[in-house]
Every structure is written in C-alpha cells, then in structure tokens.
Structure 1
C-alpha cells in the first residue's frame, strides 16, 4: 500500500466533505453532510441513535459509497470505494469491537497482516517497533508479549489504536472508544487520544458520552436524522448540546437548569431582604 509519507502541517485541512449523502433504497441515511477535519485536532461526531454516525464512519472507511457529494483528502477529490483505498489515503478506523485476536500477544496483534520480513517474520524488529510506538504513546502495557486476553479494556483499546498508527494515517476514526470502560480506563484512553492529536493526526471521535467528548474535542459536530445540526466547541453548555442532538429545547436538562436559575434568584432576593 502507498501510505502518505509526509505529515501534513499542523492545522492543515486534511479531510473535507461537502454535500455527502447516502441512500439505501428508499431510505435516506445521510443527506447533505458537510465536515472538515484539520491536522492535530479532535472532531467529535455526536448524535442520537439513528442520526447517521455509523453510516458516515462507514462511508469514510470505504465500506459504503456515498450516493451524492464530494470527499477531498489533502485538497484532492477522492473515491473511497474500498476499505483498502481508505487506508491508502491515510484514513484508519478503530471500530467498537476492536477486531483483536485474544489468543495472540500484543506484537502479533499490532502487525497482524503487515508482518515485517520478506521471507520470515522479523520478530526482533517487530518487537522493537511495538515498544517504540507504545512508549511514544505512554501506553500502560506491561509487556508486548502479553496475550491480549489478559489485558484490560483500556489496554486493548490502546493496542487497537497503536495498530492503526503503524500505517502512519492522517486521520484516525474512533468508534465509541470508551464504551463499557471504567473511570480509570476511560481516563487512560482519553489521554491516549490527546497524545495521538499531539502527533499531528486528525481524530474523529464518535461517542455518546458528552463528558468524554468535551474533555478532548476541539469541535463537536452534531448529526440529527442524517443531517448536520450544528458545530459546537467544548465550551458549549450541556443543555445546548442535548437540544441540538434531540431537536428539543424543552427537556430534563433545560428544566433542571431553569430550576437552578430560579433557586439562585430566590437566594439573591432573600439576601437582599
């Protein structure tokens, strides 16, 4: 595969979607989607179930082909007709199931399908590269010869992300990377995402957890019913994000905020009196 050899400049536009749509027969899954991703930033993709997040990820991963719109990588129009083509263009995806072989060790999982050595696997070189990459990511892996079955959820996520980085992609898409993880493991994965961003990669983060999103995202793109429904920052209130995701300004979050404001007003009035 011909992977990108030169890293984009920090802040450079590396992915641009304009008017992307996807139909499955009479069902419209995506309509008129716009999305920009720059080098060295985390873009969170959020939305309710059925909002189109998974479909958009599969379009960018080369699994589904869009029925309309354009996709540009580093300013060049591209066709992502296969997952292999997406990888060639520098778009790597870590799906929620991670696709790891639990009976193999960390090194074997990192290099699965891309082993080093023309005639026989160069175990030493693969182990050195594995250690080097994991140390760059400050990963908490006890040993690269440890079977994946013995690793925690956060450590498995680290191995899956490190495997995608071996291809030196421009963009990494992470599908629900903190789902089903405990507090400590979630923090470990969020720290890893920040280190991936610091390496100059663009990161697309798909998550239902708003606290995780706000902790690492530079921008938050909301999808609703297969369409764009706003671009926000980490400073955006939880209430505004919920309203954009659900399409309703009246919900439990807004009511709780309103009660809090009323309580504060009442306390202020009592202090004045």
Structure 2
C-alpha cells in the first residue's frame, strides 16, 4: 500500500481551517419554512412563512392554527438566554404572509398580539446587573382595493407596544433591588386601514394586504447574573370585517357575470316580443 504524507506547508493550513469551523457554524443561515395557505371565515392567509436573520434553528413560531379570521401561533423554543457575563444573546424571527378578503368582504383593520415571560437573577452577594428586551416591527402593504390592484402599493405599519416597562427589563430597576425579577409581558398592535386609504386619496376598501413581522428577543448578563426571555404565545393577526351592506364589495368577476346575466335576460325579453 502506498503511503501518503502531508507536506509541511499544507499542514499549516489545518489549524486556520479548524478555527474557522465554529465561525462558519455561527453564520449559518436558517432555511425559511413555508406553512402554505389557510382559509378563514372572511379572509384567506397566503404563503405563511417564517424565517430568522440570526440563524436560529427553525421553527421558532411553529405551524399556525386558524380559528375564524385569527391565525394563532404557539412558539416553543423562541427565547434568548445569557448567563455568567457571556455574550449577549439575540433571537430574531420573521413572519411574512398575505391576507386576501373573500368575495364580498373587505379588510378594515388588523390586530396583532403576543405574550411571553422574562426572568432576571443575580447572586445575593453581587450587584451585577442583567437585562432583557422584546421588540416587534410590523410592516404592512395595501395591495388591492375593491379587488383591484393598486398601481403603487401603500406601505404603512409601526412598532408593537409592550407592557410592562415598554418591553425593556433591567434587574436593578424592575427588580427594585431584589436578587430576582420575574414577570409576564404582552404586546399589541392595531391598524385601521380606512384612514390610510383616505390619506392617500383612495376610495374603497382594502381587499388584499401583505404583512411582515420582525420579532427580536435579547438577553444580557454580567459575571454573577443571568437573563432569560421567551415568547409563549403569538396570536397572529385578527381581521375585523364590517359585514354592513354598504361595505360589501363584489369582485370584478362577479360584476361581469351579473352584467352578462342582465344582458341575457334583456335579449330573451326582446326575442319574446
């Protein structure tokens, strides 16, 4: 059997390559998960997809359930954790999907909510601090009005509002000098689409929108402290549709069929004379 030997100038490459492996693992990009479409009472959710910009293992939100017009996620493992003064830990998760109104319906407002908890602790003999935070950016684009696509989509959105402490938790402040602090938190976001259309001089009702939600959890600790924050429930999007007769918007295809039906009836009446 022939023997192979590694030349000295090649052997020197082994250590740098080995040192790069952990870095490559840290920069791994998560593969998005597309959960598909979901049919609600008055709207359809299309291409519901989750992703992570921090390379965290998916799923974070998990597959949703639909009830009425509400898409409900129950996250498991969506958390950030830091202990002993290690590097701050941040976990981000993104949700993206479209919402399309069913025939004769419209999307008047969007409501998002989520909830979780956080725990901060330090050694009794230490003054080391710890902190956590939760943020969520909601981006919305109005694509169709009265079932007709807009020439230019209307972009809007905002930040989710969190309580308590506006989503920022610091042991020395929120813990009031105690060695531990534990609390549940909630976040909410509400957007009414009618005023946004009016501000853009557009009459009618929104019938198709796209939504993306960028969620981030962050935990930071010192040498003798620990920090944990986790998302426990995410009540997706709740669509409220006004069922009043003045707000029912027929699809263009329905209008065409109705017109054809009327022409047919008129034609029959003329032939019958």
Provide TM-score, normalisation by structure 2: 0.23
Structure-1-length-normalised TM-score: 0.23
Higher helix share: 1
Q: Which has the larger radius of gyration?
A: 2
